[in-house]
Structure formats: structure tokens, C-alpha cells
Amino acid sequence: MQYIQQIFFVLLAGVAIFIFARKTGRIRRNILLGKEETINDQPGRRWRNVLLLAFGQKKMFKRITPALLHFCVYAGFVIINVEILEIILDGIFGVHRMFAPVLGRVYNVLIGCFEILAVLVLVACVVFLIRRNILKVRRLAMKELNGWPKSDANLILITEIILMSLFLTMNTADYNLQLMGAHHYTATGSFWISGMLAPLFSGLQEPALIGIERSCWWLHIIGVFAFLNYLPYSKHLHIILAFPNAYYGRLYPQGKMQNMPDIQKEVLYMMQPEQAPAEAQGQEHHRFGAKDIMDLSWKNLLDAYSCTECGRCTAVCPANITGKKLSPRKIMMDTRDRMEAVGKNITANKTFQDDGKSLLHDYISVEELRACTTCNACVEACPVSIEPLSIINQLRRYLVMEESNAPQEWNMMFGNIENNMAPWKFSPDDRDIWTQEPA
């Protein structure tokens, strides 16, 4: 019977890892649909950002209450994985609490700390559910979260509550079995929280306790494998991608906009046609700006998959605060949705077949893009170094330079810059006349 359980466990783990690897491979392929961009400067600063922003969650602590709650969940998720490792090894080798004989009394301290973290995770998840569904904090109740995004967030929180409850119940039943001297249950002593809960099961017989302990063990590890394969379909993929995204975050000043070399060359060739290379004639036209995800860089697409949907960007966006349609969070969600649609297209057809849609217009509207003031508030607020503004700017460049789609006020300014070399409707010769007028 024990061998059958081991074989079943190994098959279950193998299937879970295979499905996860296949999905993550497709996500990697989708990210690499973007244009190449070299980001490898100042590795010291980049690793510092990983430590401060991803591990330390520095930006989260601008709002102390949700930051502390999130840190409890984050620490619980990361540290309790040590216990998950032991459960996996127990399942493979058919043993029970493999690390206990090796670590001795240290093992009790570790599991006791894990139990405290489990309780903190439970409390934090309950508070998060209340904030989302009862208090309805503004940034967590906006219309772009209606439907699946809201259900996704609630499902993850409920799943974590269930997993932590199974972990505590398993340890409580285990401790009672130790007190009975049950075979196969290593005598490790109380694990703090489970020791406090032990009287709840004190009236049960050994077979019932074994049934509870084994059921919780199997449900817990099955839940972990299910959670692993749910991550790539959820906003909680940021648990993994926050680290590389923090490393590859751009280090130049946030107010700096990147020039497009293709545009600079076009202007140069217009002013000095003799410098235009002869072989350039007849070459394929490169888009100015971005219309679809293939026109964005791989870093933009990594940003979209790393989005936590926390809404801090939208909460500080002046356009959104004043009632405009723009939501930086929605920009990232739309980019991710478009990537997923393109990815499914490629999976089905082996290569991308034009579906008549694009990120611009079909997912993100002109009205949203024009509302942006390029103030960089969204970039500053993001806890994992995401840049919604970069995507907005590239989509707006396409609108103006490829579609000639700009408000009349912008066109007047463009004309003035072209003719007068300044935004104002004054010729360069007349620009200083005001200094000669009598006071």
C-alpha cells in the first residue's frame, strides 16, 4: 500500500511540474514576442533593487497597514516552502517528517515558527477579503476588476486560507498521534500553535486521527500543486516575476523619455537627403511607435505579466482621480490580455495569423491614451518597477506619427514647432518684440 501511495505521489508531482513548465514556457515565448532591448548596465544597482523592492518590498511600506498584511502573506509563502520541501520528500520516499531526526529540537522551533506564520497568513487573508468585498477600498473596487479579476483575487485568498488551515489541522492531529505513541509518527513534541489546538482532537481514537492527518496531508500537497499551476493564469504570477522585473527595471530618471533612432534618422535624411543610404530604398517600413504587442519591447511585456493589479498606479493617477477614462492598471491588464490572445493564436496555428485586432483601438482606446499627463506618478507608485507610461507613450507615438491622429490643439503646436521652432505662433524674428515695448 505504501508503494502505491509513493508511485501516485511521484506521478502527481510529475504531472503538476510538467503542466507548470509548459505554461511558463508559453509565457516566456509571449514575452519574447517583444522587440529586443539590452538591459544589463549597473548590475550592482539592479541586485540592490531586487533585494529592496522584491525581497524587502520597500515601496509597499508607503501604506503601512496593507504593507504589513502583505508582508505576512509574503513571508508565510516563502518560508513555509521549507515545510513543503519536507512534505514532497516524505511523499517520494514514503517516510514521515524526514527532517526531524536530523534537526532535533531545532525542528520544533522551525515548525513552530511556520505555524505562527500560517496564523498570520490566515488573519491577513481574512482582512484582505474584508477590504475587497465589504469595505470596498476604492482602488480594489474599480470597474476594470469586475468579473474574473475580482474572482481571481478572492479565489487566491480563500485558497491560502484553506491551505494554512489544512497545515495547522494536520500538525494538530499529528501531535495527538505522537501523544498516543502511534506507529510511524515521529515523537517531535508540540509545535506551539498545534499544541494549543490539540485538546480539540483529544477525544478521537487513533484511526480517526490518522484519517484526519493523512487527509490534510494529501489535500495540502494537492492544493499546493494546484496553486502552482494556477499561478500562470493569475495576477499572482507576480510572486515569481517580481524578482526579474525588479532586476530589469530601467535606471534612468523617470522623467526621461527615450528618443526613437528611426525617427531621428528620418529627420536627418529629410534635412540632408545626401546622407540617406541608397540601400534604404525599398526596405520594409518600420513602425514609429507601437500598435500591437510585437512593437513593444520584451521589458514592456514582462511588465504586463508582472502586474499585481494592486491599483496603486491608478490610485495616484491625476487623470483617473479627475474622472478621466485612463487607468494605468487597465493598460497593463489589457497588454497582458492581448499577449494571451496572441499566444493562443500561435499555439493553435504554429505561427501568428492576423486576427484583425491590435492592442491599440481593440484593447486600449484613444481616449485613454490622450488622458495621460506623463507625470510618472504611476511609475513611482508601482511596487515592482512596472512602467505603464512607457507603453502609453509608444502607443501615442503610433497614433500621431502613423495615423496622424491627434487633437487639433496638438496639430497646431506641431505646426508651430515645424515652422517657428517653438510651440508658439510667433516667428523667430518677432519673438523678442515684447522686450522693446514700453512698460
SS in 3 state form for 347-368?
A: HHHCCCCCCCCCHHHHHECHHH
Query: What architecture is the 2-31+63-247 domain classified under in CATH?
Result: Up-down Bundle (1.20)
Question: 238-242, 253-257, 342-346, 418-422: which range is least confident on average?
Answer: 253-257
What percent of the chain stands above pLDDT 90?
64
Say what the pLDDT of residue 243 is.
94
Say what the pLDDT of residue 429 is.
79
pLDDT at 41 over 70: yes
User: Would you state the torsion angle of the CA atoms of residues 21, 27, 32, 33, taken in this order, to the nearest 10 degrees?
Assistant: 140
pLDDT at 380 over 90: yes
Say what the pLDDT of residue 207 is.
94
CB 421 within 8 A of CB 360: no
Say what the pLDDT of residue 16 is.
95
Helices (H), 181-255: 193-197, 206-230, 238-247
Whole-number Cα distances in Å, 318 to 99, 215, 315, 394, 437 = 54, 52, 8, 20, 40
Listed in sequence order, the residues at least 6 apart from 157 whose beta carbon sits closer than 8 Å to its beta carbon are 125, 128, 129, 132
CATH code matching the domain that covers 261-270+287-425, chosen among 1.10.3470, 1.10.1060, 1.10.3110, 3.40.1130:
1.10.1060
CB 157 within 8 A of CB 125: yes
Helices (H), 98-143: 100-103, 105-133
Say what the pLDDT of residue 163 is.
93
Say what the pLDDT of residue 152 is.
95
**Residue whose cell numbers read 502586474:** 307
Average of per-residue pLDDT across 74-94: 85
**Residue whose cell numbers read 486560507:** 161
Alpha-carbon span 434 to 438, nearest angstrom: 9
Alpha-carbon span 81 to 76, nearest angstrom: 8
pLDDT tens digits, 157-201: 999 999 999 999 999 999 999 888 888 887 887 778 998 999 999
**Residue whose cell numbers read 505554461:** 23
- pTM > 0.75: yes or no: yes
pLDDT at 271 over 80: no
pLDDT at 281 over 60: no
Q: Of 239, 255, 305, whose CA–CA distance to 57 is shortest? A: 239
The domain limits of the chain are: 2-31+63-247, 261-270+287-425
Average of per-residue pLDDT across 352-372: 96
Name the band, by pLDDT with cuts 50, 70 and 90, for residue 435.
confident
